[in-house]
Structure 1
């Protein structure tokens, strides 16, 4: 592959000495109240979203035992990432961003409260669950994209990498691990309780947004159309020889993850024999792995290099899925999920830092939305594929083997990506001497 255009990175290196003094001053000032509020709000909201990821499918099992229909709930939670990411970016640029954060949190309070009421009154239907999942997912897209946009306005430039590291950890630990664990714990007590707690967490997150103060923005008189600006970002991304494979790799990894996770609740019930609270503990193990990844990524990169760490991350994802697929012991599965959390976080920290270095500032918002579209867009498709794969394979191979099949497919996808990366990608962040995690 040809070398990537990295003029922003070169500029970064030229300014290292000059920026050191400013970086030290920024570090002494800290992140400030605004960023602390955004980060705290994201933690609360991601905890709530994590509860949703467990509570919605589990509640669906009380309505139907059809794997395809249950996987539809997970699909609709993620479908807005595919449908709304690019239009949301345009809306965020034109509206009051603090109010977007407040209102999207409050909107999710109403939806979660409505589901809690339906459970308490015995009025829950699959159609209602589908609608609520889609509405919560839509608000989440708008909220999380806005959070990424406001962070550079709240954090001094020398602290952006560290701030983004905290946000990656918050997203992963809260949304993928602690939230699902809490959801499982709450489900063990009551079907209504998870949705009540979820609504309360969103309400607290909305209150924290009142502490965020953003400088007034000048309303730009747009002379270019939305289509032309989107096209410019798409061209930059697609023509870049390293961003493109990074985005496509992440999309395929998330596709494989969604395939495996869409029917994991049935895997836990049937193969592992877990109750709701025990099911949530599996995700807590993943949170431990994710925190370790967030803390040690920089050290690992400096010792082994970005290319080797990225390849290990891809291989680790394959091994994790394979280990879960062949296991029948919950402790083994918990250890594998912890490893998956570590590998996923390492990948995210390294690749996000690289993207921030090499994309020009005037294109970063659009390129970032494209990247998130590729990252999250495949999730609903993966959820549907996972449900269809289990349904089809159960008819031929039996119930237990059918539930293991999506995990074997996920392992195959990650393993294939590792081989492709090892053979084909050697420039930029894939170069053995690229220092993606260096301290300026």
Structure 2
């Protein structure tokens, strides 16, 4: 618990973190708890409605497909619109969606189709909101504080969605199946209220001149494609997301069929991710400074590969919890490094669009991984999914090691 408290942004500890950032951080923390509630409850609901791993994995596919379909349009909108007002509207739309899902479940007409539709639309909102919040951070935070700011947002997200949320979600699911989704709706409402209190943001002059939808979208794509470092990191992120989301999509099946856990036990196991995530968010900036960004990325890929290998080889709830902590530690450290690189290397007027193209490539691996994980688990069992994921991550680690020897980050960003 002390690690979680250390990850919070106490008043005065970092003067480069403004009050506006604190409001954004608090909004992220509150909504992350709601996300964790749904992260635990949605697969439990799907598993209650069907025993087919492919249909259970379909819930993850429904949530992540929008990352591919709407990534670039979301980036264009982020560059064009008032970021804060748009984030509030997205939060309020998600409140309505979750209220509808909760009502459908309580009324007896909330089956898999309604779950898929609501998760799909929630995914659309998530694509826009995450892109918008990352674009907003550099406008309300000094450059010297970007690594700390991003690490703290990730800590809040992981502590909420990976620790508190899953525990609460599993408990609420046992009380009433519809209750977790109603609680998530309330957290998005709180997030909307907090975002309305942010006073700073992108000045109108920083918005691009409107030259047409297609030319504006292509401008971000062309810039990213020509930037060798960020293009390569986007492709490697795609592979990481394929391996990681294949694992997460079938984890509920693994917990029931192999580990023999109850719904609450599944929530506890998920919460182990927060341990690694909070530790990584606390120490990743200093560790990255000590190791260098190249070697830090090699270490993250190695950690993720090791976590998947443990899940594949050791059918123990304790080993699974430790593996998930390692997995989260690796992914958060990866995100701290690459998000700061995007925020500092991409021109401010292109940040939303270049970010969206990066996410299109990187997040494109999420639905692919979820679908592949469900199919592979149905055919060969969940340990095979984890073993294949470990092999993919080993390939990523080797590619990163080659890049580290060439100092590919240092050469493009000497700072």
TM-score (norm 1): 0.85
Q: Does residue 407 of structure 2 align to residue 420 of structure 1? A: no
- Partners in 1 of 2:205 and 2:297 — Cα distance? 41
Which residue in 1 is equivalent to 2:85? 99
Assess, with a 3 A threshold, how the Cα gap between structure 1 residues 220 and 417 changes in structure 2: closer, same or farther.
closer
- Partners in 1 of 2:207 and 2:148 — Cα distance? 31
Structure-to-structure mapping, 1:76-225, within 5 angstroms: 76-214=62-200, 217=204, 222-225=209-212
**Larger Rg computed on CA atoms:** 1
Which residue in 1 is equivalent to 2:238? 251
Assess, with a 3 A threshold, how the Cα gap between structure 1 residues 425 and 278 changes in structure 2: closer, same or farther.
same
Assess, with a 3 A threshold, how the Cα gap between structure 1 residues 65 and 154 changes in structure 2: closer, same or farther.
same
**Could you tell which deviates more after superposition, 118-127 or 426-435?**
426-435
- Measured on the aligned residues, the alpha-carbon RMSD in Å equals 2.5
**Could you tell which deviates more after superposition, 56-65 or 426-435?**
426-435
Assess, with a 3 A threshold, how the Cα gap between structure 1 residues 103 and 358 changes in structure 2: closer, same or farther.
closer
**Could you tell which deviates more after superposition, 230-239 or 275-284?**
230-239
**How far off its partner does 1:283 sit?**
2.1
Q: Does residue 322 of structure 2 align to residue 335 of structure 1? A: yes
- Partners in 2 of 1:297 and 1:30 — Cα distance? 18
What is the DSSP-based 3-state SS (H/G/I as helix, E as strand, rest coil) of the residue aligned with 1:211? coil
1:301 aligned residue (279, 282, 288)? 288
- Partners in 2 of 1:96 and 1:431 — Cα distance? 34
Assess, with a 3 A threshold, how the Cα gap between structure 1 residues 79 and 176 changes in structure 2: closer, same or farther.
farther
**How far off its partner does 1:327 sit?**
1.6
**How far off its partner does 1:246 sit?**
1.0
Which residue in 1 is equivalent to 2:336? 349
Unaligned runs of 5+ in 2: 1-11
**How far off its partner does 1:431 sit?**
5.6
**How far off its partner does 1:425 sit?**
4.9
**How far off its partner does 1:254 sit?**
0.6
What is the DSSP-based 3-state SS (H/G/I as helix, E as strand, rest coil) of the residue aligned with 1:272? coil
- Partners in 2 of 1:39 and 1:391 — Cα distance? 40
- Partners in 2 of 1:300 and 1:160 — Cα distance? 15
Assess, with a 3 A threshold, how the Cα gap between structure 1 residues 76 and 28 changes in structure 2: closer, same or farther.
closer
**How far off its partner does 1:225 sit?**
2.4
